[in-house]
Structure 1
Amino acid sequence: MTDTHTLEDLDLTRIHLLGIGGAGQNALADLLVDMGYSLSGSDLKLSATTEALARRGVTVYEGQRAENLNNVTVVVTTAAANENNPEIQEARRKGLPVLQNAEMVGLLLNQKRLLSVAGTHGKTTTTGLVAFLLEKAGLDPTFYIGGVSTDLGVAGKAGKGEYAALESDEYARRFLNYRPEAAVITNVEPDHLDYYGTWEALQAAFATFAGNIRPGGQLYICADDAGAVALKETAQTGAEIFTYGLGPADWQATEVQPNAKGGHDFSLKFRGDVLGTVELGLAGVHNVRNATGALAMVLTAAPQVTPEIFIKLAGQYRGTARRFELKGEAEGVTVIDDYAHHPTEIRATLAAARARFGPRRLVALFQPHTYTRTKALVDEFAGAFDEADLVALMEIFPARETDTLGVSTGDILDRMGHGGKLAEPLTHANAASTLNALMREGDVLLTLGAGDVWKVGEQVLKARAGKQGL
């Protein structure tokens, strides 16, 4: 993807972000505020995210209207907004530059020593760990994460150091705006086929991303994932390629054992040499892989920091919002929220919950995300809940889509052989009350999905704590 703008040819006097409450725009807003830019933004509804930005001096509008662009010189939008949006129409009428989020991020960060993380799953957690390691090692990095870091308190930051950590999203080929010095590819699986159309087109985009790594840079691919490994053959890259994972790899996690923190201890090795023991607090063996990739990239990129320091810091990392996030406990019920919206992610999250909570009853509430993903993966979704004891599904969260493609949550339920499933889809009107009637002391409720299913978990907690009736 060819950049159509440079920072030099843009008048950045006043930047306006459409959908400023979304994860990507929120992270960009944090970056721009740190850089000293004057900033405004709009969203359909105000939220805790927009309120936090307002406290930082950002002008935030509820609703999207032409008059929100008074005195604006550049508009940054996302794939969720189309040309019928009144703010985009006004920007076109005024002749203002309209950039996609990823294009602006690339303009800001490509000048740094850019450490990128891409992949179908695990991007946010892995990028968050890269940013955390650099920050806590005193390197004052810039970072852009697709979720708020639990430890750092923000999703984006403009540091004074030479490094930048960047979550690189494959949707709409966004990650082709970036020119990293090094990149981790966690895995490559079919997803976003509403945009790519075919699995082969998605694979080709990842190969192009790998080819965009600067000559002499490094590419770290997960040896445990067939889709990532295939890039060794298809990527036309001048980068040195390393593998990482739990199986045979250049960077390997071995002797993986559950620990008292609810995560795993493991021995980190580089080509057979033991570098130290990581005491990871994140739940799930999949996060051992994520941590191995993050450590491999950071240890290579920042050799001025000893492996001992980075390995110790990795054990202090608590993750990011909506990634196996403990929302609370009430009347003996624990609520965990996770962004898992792909069958692989659901299986990994439920496996992590089983490892952490043992024989406690796991209640999974899943909200499918987009009609295209549901239609493409309906059979895989139906078989993704084996670790759960009770399964409930909500109606599909459409996100940017309007065409239902004739698919519904009922299609998943019809194919699901799980003996503990609720037969009918739930809605926000009845989900919390239905689950509260079924749950008992000791249960663990997992709200799963990329939409607004997290609201149900909060309603359950409030009701059980006696703060709100249902």
Structure 2
Amino acid sequence: MLQISKYKRANWLGKLTEHYNLIAVSGTHGKSTTASMLAYVLKSMGDDLTAVVGAQVPQFGGGNIMSGSGRNFVLEADEYDCCFLGLLPYIAVVTNVDWEHVDIFPDEEAVKAIFRRFLKQIRVGGHLILCGDRQCSAGACSLLDDREESTVADHSSGKLSTLNSDKCSDGYRITTFGISRTNEWHALSIRPNSQGGSDFVLCHRGYPVANITLQIPGVHNVLNSLAVIATVMALVSDGRQSYESINCVKIHLNNFVGVSRRFELIGTVCGCHIYDDYAHHPTEVRAVLQAARQRFPLKALLVVFQPHTYSRLAALKSDFATAFSDADQVLVTEIYAARETNVWNVSGKDLATSIIGPPSEYIPSLGDVVDKLAHQISLEPDRETVVFTLGAGDITTVGSKLFHELQGRLQK
């Protein structure tokens, strides 16, 4: 009889990556974008790496895998079900730490505890790249255990100083990134650009070193790009860091177009622009709508949100209630159950009635949402309107159905 070995995902990923220089990109939010951005930049710089991320990436040829024969392996490392504890990374990236998988972790302290265990998996002589902004991620900052970090800049030469990150008791180096000047890599003067993304001044240890341009919008993507920059520079931290290295990275960052279901344009009909995004946690909803408002400051912003899992809505309803403040109108559908049954006795209506700020309405059926929006938008076809569908379930079907319905009504 044929014997087939069975592995849980954590063990399988560990075996798959054990002979590589593993760069494990973790964090509650931003893993897919940061991992794919990092893989794209490294590949464009000539690294014949392998990469596996948890989303479709247009610049990977439309899939989620990049196959190479080099030593580096970029992997999106998920904390769900403690999956990333099977990995032994050479470089671990932590974008942020938040309470997300409420069906797995009872509270944020439990999430922090599992991330601390993950950091103990970093190989001796390895590197931790971590968001050091308390405002952006107090949870990630807590992993530093109040270690002091140097913020002294070396202005004496035309080259960037080699990263002299603190070495912790577990034998790996630590590099922080963020908006604050207390981070080794940080951003100044963040502003929208003509591409619909963001421009900022990149600083290293307080010293401005480059002007960065991104096609993808939002402060959260500025942070993602800083994680990429810090990781790339850690990989070449052998004294050869120079302005030429940074200039190479900045060119490829500018060419990165993003990940599927992350601020993804579905289509435009007359004055209506339809986007789809995977945001299903209050932090993610808030971030994508802030980015939308940045890109479309004067347009009406209509949001359709499908809550994902009963447990998440029950635990985070008060956070969701304040996450839609940048919208002009919110439609909430019934909850996408995924793997759960409704033992919490919660519904999308509970969220719709609790949202603070924009007018909100509970419309359980996705089909009824399409009908309502198509009728509403058709009454003022030339009005500049932006529609965002948000969620991790089958809400992704709404944008394309609305687009085709509006085409039929408005382009006769």
TM-score by length of 1: 0.77
Question: 1:468, CA displacement in angstroms?
Answer: 12
Match of 2:317 in 1: 378
Q: Distance in 1 between matches of 2:30 and 2:188?
A: 20
The percentage of counterpart residues that share the same residue type is 37
Q: Distance in 2 between matches of 1:215 and 1:275?
A: 30
Match of 2:231 in 1: 297
Larger CA deviation: 362-371 vs 95-104: 95-104
Match of 1:233 in 2: 145
Question: 1:283, CA displacement in angstroms?
Answer: 0.8
Question: 1:192, CA displacement in angstroms?
Answer: 0.8
Matched, 1:149 2:57: yes
- Residue type of the alignment partner of 1:205: I
Matched, 1:258 2:192: yes
Larger CA deviation: 135-144 vs 233-242: 233-242
**Residues 164-199 of structure 1: CA distance to partner in whole angstroms, max 9, x if unpaired?**
111111100011111111121111111112112232
SS at match of 1:377: helix
Larger CA deviation: 303-312 vs 332-341: 303-312
Question: 1:419, CA displacement in angstroms?
Answer: 4.2
Q: Distance in 1 between matches of 2:171 and 2:299?
A: 50
Match of 1:427 in 2: 365
Q: How does 1:215-234 map to 2 (within 5 A)?
A: 215-224=124-133, 225-233=137-145
Q: Distance in 1 between matches of 2:392 and 2:68?
A: 29
Question: 1:251, CA displacement in angstroms?
Answer: 0.8
Q: Distance in 2 between matches of 1:418 and 1:275?
A: 40
**Residues 229-281 of structure 1: CA distance to partner in whole angstroms, max 9, x if unpaired?**
00011997422111110112111111222111111111212212333111111
Q: In 2, are the aligned partners of 1:350 and 1:385 still within 8 Å (CA)? A: yes
Question: 1:426, CA displacement in angstroms?
Answer: 2.9
- Residue type of the alignment partner of 1:266: F
SS at match of 1:151: helix
Q: Distance in 1 between matches of 2:56 and 2:388?
A: 19
Match of 2:307 in 1: 368
Matched, 1:122 2:122: no
Q: Distance in 1 between matches of 2:139 and 2:20?
A: 29
- Residue type of the alignment partner of 2:357: H
Q: In 2, are the aligned partners of 1:372 and 1:405 still within 8 Å (CA)? A: yes
Q: Distance in 2 between matches of 1:359 and 1:246?
A: 27
Q: Distance in 1 between matches of 2:357 and 2:178?
A: 31
Q: Distance in 1 between matches of 2:273 and 2:214?
A: 21
Q: In 2, are the aligned partners of 1:184 and 1:221 still within 8 Å (CA)? A: yes
**Residues 9-31 of structure 1: CA distance to partner in whole angstroms, max 9, x if unpaired?**
xxxxxxxxxxxxxxxxxxxxxxx
Q: In 2, are the aligned partners of 1:366 and 1:392 still within 8 Å (CA)? A: yes
Q: Distance in 1 between matches of 2:253 and 2:352?
A: 40
**Residues 283-321 of structure 1: CA distance to partner in whole angstroms, max 9, x if unpaired?**
111110110011100121145782211111111111110
Q: In 2, are the aligned partners of 1:207 and 1:236 still within 8 Å (CA)? A: no
In the alignment of these two chains, the number of paired residues is: 376
Q: In 2, are the aligned partners of 1:255 and 1:267 still within 8 Å (CA)? A: yes
RCO higher in structure (CA 8 A, sep ≥6): 2
- Residue type of the alignment partner of 2:391: G
Q: In 1, are the aligned partners of 2:51 and 2:66 still within 8 Å (CA)? A: yes
Q: How does 1:173-184 map to 2 (within 5 A)?
A: 173-184=82-93
Question: 1:115, CA displacement in angstroms?
Answer: 1.1
Q: How does 1:177-196 map to 2 (within 5 A)?
A: 177-196=86-105
**Residues 305-349 of structure 1: CA distance to partner in whole angstroms, max 9, x if unpaired?**
822111111111111100111111113211111110000110110
Q: Distance in 2 between matches of 1:162 and 1:306?
A: 20
Match of 1:139 in 2: 47
Q: Distance in 2 between matches of 1:148 and 1:386?
A: 29
Q: In 1, are the aligned partners of 2:348 and 2:364 still within 8 Å (CA)? A: no
Match of 1:26 in 2: none
Question: 1:116, CA displacement in angstroms?
Answer: 1.4
Question: 1:102, CA displacement in angstroms?
Answer: 3.4
Q: How does 1:19-418 map to 2 (within 5 A)?
A: 96-153=4-61, 154-224=63-133, 225-233=137-145, 237-248=170-181, 249-302=183-236, 306-418=245-357
Q: In 1, are the aligned partners of 2:276 and 2:390 still within 8 Å (CA)? A: yes
Q: Distance in 1 between matches of 2:126 and 2:83?
A: 20
- Residue type of the alignment partner of 2:366: H
SS at match of 2:114: helix
Q: Distance in 2 between matches of 1:211 and 1:467?
A: 58
| Residues 236 and 382 (structure 1), Cα distance of their counterparts in 2 relative to 1, 3 Å cut | farther
Question: 1:150, CA displacement in angstroms?
Answer: 2.0
Q: In 1, are the aligned partners of 2:324 and 2:358 still within 8 Å (CA)? A: no
- Residue type of the alignment partner of 1:418: G
SS at match of 1:219: strand
SS at match of 1:173: helix
Question: 1:389, CA displacement in angstroms?
Answer: 0.3
Q: Distance in 2 between matches of 1:385 and 1:436?
A: 22
Unaligned ranges ≥5, structure 2: 147-167
Q: In 2, are the aligned partners of 1:343 and 1:380 still within 8 Å (CA)? A: yes
**Residues 141-178 of structure 1: CA distance to partner in whole angstroms, max 9, x if unpaired?**
10011111122222012211111111111100011111
Match of 1:462 among 396, 404, 408: 404
SS at match of 2:144: helix
SS at match of 2:145: helix
Unaligned ranges ≥5, structure 1: 1-70, 74-94
